């Protein structure tokens, strides 16, 4: 039996990493993340996110994220799914659509085509979009830690609206969770959604 793939998405400081870890522990699933979960991905991550690194063009950034995803699927995600394990990933295709498609204004269709090529057509069985208020996000985030976090507020507004649009256009695949609540309440809401949607 093939495992199920669950992706956590959202902007900066919404609690994705914490909730992904808690769900993976609850399900006994493989926990992973993007970018940087493989040796190649770690090198790509350092180039893409280094605040003092190269001045990447928007298209170069999208291509590097796709390269990370291709290796991630080939080396981590697909082998686990094929072995019958569920996989929980902190970011997946939705991040590229929101950050490069909407945030960088490259176009969702173009970025989706690139991601589909990178994954060989693999898509998430469920995407959990965590949303928090600006006040909560700012309270959780100290100084911007990387190049993308340090982008202007207008960029992050486009990313947020992009995520909202993706969730609205794909209600069968996406579920939106209020991340403003205490961690255990958010985790319970996530697990309920996973049970209702996937039966796992």
Angle of CA points 195, 196, 198, to nearest 5°: 65
Is the preceding omega at residue 35 within 30 degrees of 0, hence cis?
Answer: yes
Q: pTM to 2 decimals?
A: 0.95
Distance CA 136, CA 13 (A): 8
Provide the pLDDT for residue 53: 65
What structural domains does the chain harbor?
5-198 (3.40.50.300)
Structure tokens that stand for 5 in this block = 């793939």
| Residue linked to tokens 């909730």 | 19
Which residues, including other chains, have CB under 8 Å from residue 164's CB and lie 6 or more apart? none
Provide the pLDDT for residue 134: 77
Closest by Cα among 132, 145, 133 to 51: 145
The answer to whether 32 and 89 have CB atoms below 8 angstroms apart is yes
Provide the pLDDT for residue 191: 98
Mean pLDDT of 108-124: 98
Provide the pLDDT for residue 51: 63
Angle between helices 183-198 and 16-27 (to 10 degrees): 60
On the question of pLDDT at 67 being above 80, the answer is yes
Q: Kindly report, residue by residue over 37-61, the tens digit of the pLDDT.
A: 999 999 999 999 886 667 889 999 9
130 pairs with which residues across the strands? 177
Mean pLDDT of 137-152: 77
Provide the pLDDT for residue 55: 82
The answer to whether 20 and 33 have CB atoms below 8 angstroms apart is yes
State percent of the chain over pLDDT 70. 96
Closest by Cα among 19, 14, 9, 10 to 137: 14
């Amino acid at each position: 039996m093939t495992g199920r793939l669950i992706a956590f998405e959202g902007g900066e400081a919404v609690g994705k990493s914490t909730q992904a870890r808690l769900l993976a522990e609850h399900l006994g699933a493989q926990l992973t993340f993007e970018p940087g979960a493989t040796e190649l991905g770690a090198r790509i991550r350092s180039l893409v996110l280094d605040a003092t690194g190269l001045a990447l063009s928007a298209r170069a950034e999208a291509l590097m994220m796709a390269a990370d995803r291709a290796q991630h699927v080939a080396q981590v995600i697909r082998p686990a799914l094929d072995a019958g394990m569920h996989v929980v990933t902190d970011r997946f295709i939705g991040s590229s659509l929101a950050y490069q498609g909407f945030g960088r204004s490259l176009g969702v269709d173009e970025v989706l085509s690139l991601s589909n090529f990178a994954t060989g057509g693999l898509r998430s069985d469920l995407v959990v979009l965590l949303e928090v208020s600006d006040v909560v996000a700012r309270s959780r985030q100290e100084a911007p830690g990387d190049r993308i976090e340090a982008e202007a507020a207008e960029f992050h507004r486009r990313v947020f609206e992009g995520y909202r649009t993706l969730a609205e256009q794909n209600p069968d695949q996406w579920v939106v969770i209020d991340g403003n609540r205490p961690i255990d309440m958010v985790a319970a809401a996530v697990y309920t959604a996973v049970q209702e949607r996937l039966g796992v």
